Amino acid sequence: MIGLRPRSGVLRGRDRLAGLLASLFFLLPAFGAAQDARLFDDAYLERKYATAPSKFVTVEGVRFHVRDEGKGPVLLLLNGHLGSLHMWDAWVRILSPQLRIVRIDYAPYGLSGPDPSGDYSTEHAVRLVHALVQRLRLEKFSIGGTSNGALVALFYAIEHPERVERVVVSTLPAGRPPPRKPSDAMRAAAVEVKAQAPFQPRAFWDAFLHDIMANDAVIDDVLVDRYFELNNRRGAKAWVDAYIDTQYRLWDTLDVKEKFGRLRRPILLQWGADGVVLPEQIGHDVADLLRAAPVTLKQYRNAGHLPMIEQPEATARDALAFLRGTTLVSD
């Protein structure tokens, strides 16, 4: 299983520390549970991050943050772990003249609400996305996502091939991320996160983004502030903890080869070739798992875990060409 660590968890000494630090991308909110006056309330966050054309749509008790922009064939986009629908801003700017882009914060991220059922499994996320699709009256569309949002998009396309025309995803996981050694700044910031839990200082998010991204030039105050504020939303820590728990159970039980092999729709797999969370080779390994689907793998230099932010022009251009049926040369 790609990127999956031994189920026994037997990592010793330096390997144990490296494994823990490598997992910070998924585990970082898992400290403490008490409320903190430094956390941000929904009223403030919605004034700042739910400006027009944002709207909220409630399905099955979950309040979803949604944006619907542009005209043309529909592309439904899902955010990645710890991100929000804003991570697609550049794509919307580039693609909305040719596509209708519907993007959501899938629960429990961004400004979407918690799930009252307490079920944060990928399978349940697919059910919620489908309920939202029906509410929005989307009949035929392409679907995309990044990181764990890419996994939800993949599962959706497998379960609802009658709805999905094409799939565009980036840094699609197929197991726990492999152990790695984060930067010194990331490790120091992680110590502060533990000391100040549940509050996660802005310096942590600055170090976090520089750690997972390869193109530092695109990391500005707006990006850091957004990750800092939305991930310090009151209540979010407990919701993300629940998500992480179900995600790890998924990797411990899922037959990845069988599941990924069930996709039949054409898929464009975009990858940050200089990423450290899911390195370049994993992109090739994931492409091999999609053995029953027409798959195109595109690797992007000077991009890490967030290629739609790090290389927006190239990734959006290739996505549009793929969605129009143009044949792309796979890397």
What pLDDT is recorded for position 8?
Answer: 34
Q: Is 131 within 8 Å of 66 (Cβ atoms)? A: no
Q: What is the dihedral of CA 271, 317, 153, 142, to 10 degrees?
A: -160
Q: What is the dihedral of CA 33, 37, 41, 43, to 10 degrees?
A: 170
Q: Which residue ranges form the domains of the chain, and what is each CATH number?
A: 13-323 (3.40.50.1820)
Secondary structure tally for the chain: helices H, strands E: 14, 8
Which parts of the chain register pLDDT below 70?
Answer: 1-35
Q: What is the dihedral of CA 109, 247, 135, 227, to 10 degrees?
A: 10
What pLDDT is recorded for position 14?
Answer: 40
What pLDDT is recorded for position 36?
Answer: 80
What pLDDT is recorded for position 35?
Answer: 56
Q: What is the DSSP string of 252-276?
A: HH--HHHHHTT--S-EEEEEETT-S
3-state DSSP assignment of residue 170: strand
What pLDDT is recorded for position 195?
Answer: 87
What pLDDT is recorded for position 258?
Answer: 98
3-state DSSP assignment of residue 115: coil
What pLDDT is recorded for position 244?
Answer: 86
What pLDDT is recorded for position 20?
Answer: 42
CB count within 10 Å of CB 123 equals: 12
Kindly tell me the burial class for residue 258, based on how many C-beta atoms sit within 10 Å of its own C-beta (0-12, 13-18, 19 or more).
exposed
Pull the structure tokens for residue 27: 């585990």
